[in-house]
Amino acid sequence: MSKTLFEKIIDREISADIIFEDELCIVIKDISPQAPTHLLIIPKKVIPKLSDSTEDDKQILGHLMLVAGKIADQLGLDETFRLVINNGAKAGQSVFHLHLHLLSGRPLNWPPG
């Protein structure tokens, strides 16, 4: 199996602006930011999309959310941010390695597009 784009970033084969890393995940700046703060929170385990996750992934999924909250706190986002997971191409997913988008720094309208 060929590596996903994000695996190549995790393995330092492709450069990225890494702002956090631990044993379960990595957090990078999105290369094409849709808000003043646009981060991607990516598990090291390759789960192609959220709907492919299983009970075994509970710890990882919870960890990603907790990391999102901690990073938002550290960056002083004033508890104002949005997390997005695009699940499937029709929902806008383009990289099939699960990731959370963390967006902040501009008005975030509802409903999203």
Instruction: Give catalytic residues, as residue numbers.
Output: 99
Least distance (Å) from ligand AMP to the CB of residue 59?
22
25 closest CA partner among 58, 67, 53, 57: 67
* Total length of the chain: 113
Q: Please report whether residue 86 would count as binding ligand AMP according to CB under 6 A.
A: yes
Minimum CB distance to ligand AMP smaller for 48 or for 79: 48
Which string of x and - marks every residue 42-71 that binds ligand AMP (by CB under 6 A)? ------------------------------
Q: How far is CA 99 from CA 35, 94, 107, in A?
A: 17, 11, 22
Residue of the chain from 24, 69, 77, 93 that contacts ligand AMP (CB under 6 A): 93
CB 102 within 8 A of CB 68: yes
Q: Please report whether residue 32 would count as binding ligand AMP according to CB under 6 A.
A: yes
Binding site for ligand AMP (CB under 6 A): 5, 14, 16, 28, 30-32, 40, 86, 92-95
